[in-house]
Amino acid sequence: MINPHVSTPCEYINAWSVVPIADMIMAPSVILLHNVPIDEVQGYMISEMQVRWNHQSKVYETTALAVQGDIGAPVNGVLLRKIPVDKYRHLAVRLFLLLYKGNDSFTPFDVSSFGAFKYEAGDGPTDKNLKRVACIYRVYKHISDSPRKAVAEAFGIAPSTATIWINDARARYMRDEE
């Protein structure tokens, strides 16, 4: 079940309305975030935020933002500067990640299903581990400010080691990216 705070204007989710994030993990090219309380500002919510995939830069961008306050509460520049737009863009993408099952069939994808690879980390930067690093990095660069931290946590390795593994994964599996 997709989270009720996200939707897409696409009539159907299919191969034409999604973009590949990593391997079989996809997300709609346009995502709408609805009625989400703004943690940083009491009494206000994002009534709607539009997040759109930029095909040239291959990143999600916030293209529209509507903020609503309690009855009579003003929306002004001071308020708008307090909203961490990137945080909510990441949330929109995270809530609408999809796992492609074939034949235009998708199911929701939860990043916690990556699991922990601490046991495998003892084997070092094997081919299998570096493919996992590439997948985790590709997903987390769209849903977090720190994909390196996600790699380190998944494998239980130091951030400096995660950086080395990410660089190795880039060299082998992400040459055409960034």
| 105 touches 14 (CB < 8 A) | no
- Global confidence as pTM: 0.85
Residue 176: pLDDT over 90: no
Helix, strand, coil percent content, the chain, rounded in steps of 5: 35, 30, 35
pLDDT (tens digit per residue) in 81-95: 999 999 999 999 998
- What percentage of the chain exceeds 70 in pLDDT? 89
Residue 83 or 110, more confident = 83
pLDDT (tens digit per residue) in 3-50: 666 666 666 666 668 898 988 899 999 999 999 999 999 999 999 999
Helices then strands, each counted (H, E), the chain = 6, 8
Residue 76: pLDDT over 80: yes
| Residue type at position 143 | I
pLDDT (tens digit per residue) in 136-167: 999 999 999 899 999 999 999 999 999 999 99
Q: Which two tokens stand for residue 107?
A: 């199911």
